[in-house]
Amino acid sequence: MASRPNILFVLVDQLGARWLPIYGHPIVKTPQLERFANESTVFERAISTSPICTPYRGCLLSGRYPSQTGLRQNGQAYPAELPSLADHLNAADYATYYVGKWHLSGAPQENRWAPPERRAGFQHFIGWESHHVDHHAGLIWGDDPNEPIVMPGHETDALTEIALRQLAQAASEANPFFMLLSYQAPHPPCSPPQAFLEHYRDQDLFREPNADAAAWYEMPQWNADYDAATFRRLYFGEISHMDAAFGRLLRGLDELALSENTLVVFTSDHGEMAGAHGLFGKGLMFEESLRVPLIARAPGQATGRRTSQLAATVDLTPTLLDYAGFDRLPAAEGISLRPQIEGGAADSARIAISEYQSLCATTQAWKLVTDGRGLKPAALYNIENDPYELENRLHDADCADVQATLQAALSEWRERLVACSTSDSMASTA
């Protein structure tokens, strides 16, 4: 393998690992992802460091927690003074490309142009700030704010074609490239092409024990008002449509003779509750919202494998920079996952921290969630034996040791990263 491969990072929006057959879902159809997984490394458990759009993206580009970047809510701008993944790769003579939804240029949160000074250092940028409510009426911008590009048809297909054109441009350059392709799909409100919606007609869509078929999805600003079954049909249809687009992207890599020397990573920023526990959306520490797919194909890799290595968003910058040839990684909180992508042993003792409106410490088998952003515990789940989080073990004496371990990890994290910050408004320790 060449020491400095190309990197294609595919980020989809609001896709929980729960809803993919790669992770055990019995209904959703994703043949392209399954084919990709058969020649890649699948992380059995990857979690979002912050299961919400803007904070996740700030974490992805910096390798730092939202409490360090200051990006703790949607609609904030990536800090100009904070070195980004693109900045590091630019310095290493990579050509850096961004295509798709951005959500890091600040207010207003709408389908609009993102100015160059708010693009976190990407050299080539074709994108939009956020919120294509109608997936069939998407606009995307390059460098001219007055010349939006109309994305014909469904934006997932149009965005794929734009990315393929950008890949062709990157292939013609002498330097290696890094491309971050950010799909909005399958973020609701969903409107998949009819052919993909048909997959889920007359199906039993509620097979999980925590599913609430009576839940109702209501988002007036998105003209969305329907039951959980309708939501799931639409959401699953978007997933299958996105899968087909991903397959087209991989075929394009082959046609451009890029596959052998390109690291390809597929993941999502956070999941979607989709009626689990009667809830919809993200931002929660339940598995449907927190756990995301993470699949990586190293250059030249042809054999699939699965790893039990616990992975988190903060690991992605160190991993990508490791592949880009950085011997000493810039300051980042995570670890490089390159050893596990290439077949190395997992660290079974790892504890990962997530933050948003509450805090969460998780291992492969256990999860502790706080009540708000203080340290008062609210829930303890054995996600190995209770993956649908039906039994809160918080007051179970048999779990006291694991609870103490996770509580100590949260306390150390909070003290080190948050409590000393004068800008933090977290509640005091309960």
pLDDT tens for residues 126-138? 999 998 888 998 9
The pLDDT of residue 417 is 84
249 pLDDT higher than 60: yes
Q: pLDDT per residue over 384-410, tens digit each? A: 999 999 999 999 999 999 999 999 999
The pLDDT of residue 423 is 42
Distances (CA, A) of 139 to 111, 153, 209: 7, 11, 40
Reported as a pLDDT band with limits 50, 70 and 90, residue 329 is confident
Distance CA 60, CA 11 (A): 10
Give the pLDDT mean for 163-178: 96
The pLDDT of residue 254 is 97
For the chain, which residues make up each domain, given as ranges?
Answer: 6-341, 358-417
The rounded mean pLDDT for the chain is 94
Q: What CATH number does the domain located at 358-417 have?
A: 3.30.1120.10
Q: pLDDT per residue over 55-102, tens digit each? A: 999 999 999 999 999 999 999 999 999 999 999 999 999 999 999 999
The candidate with the shortest Cα–Cα distance to 179, out of 85, 257, 256, 109, is: 85
The pLDDT of residue 9 is 98
CATH topology of domain 6-341: Alkaline Phosphatase, subunit A (3.40.720)
130 or 328, higher pLDDT: 130
CB-count burial class (<10 Å; 0-12, 13-18, 19+) for 248: middle
The pLDDT of residue 428 is 30
Q: pLDDT per residue over 277-311, tens digit each? A: 999 999 999 999 999 999 999 999 999 999 999 99
Distance CA 102, CA 114 (A): 8
426 pLDDT higher than 50: no
Q: Are 290 and 284 in contact (CB under 8 A)?
A: yes
The candidate with the shortest Cα–Cα distance to 67, out of 418, 336, 429, is: 418
Lowest mean pLDDT among 20-34, 152-166, 315-329, 373-387: 315-329
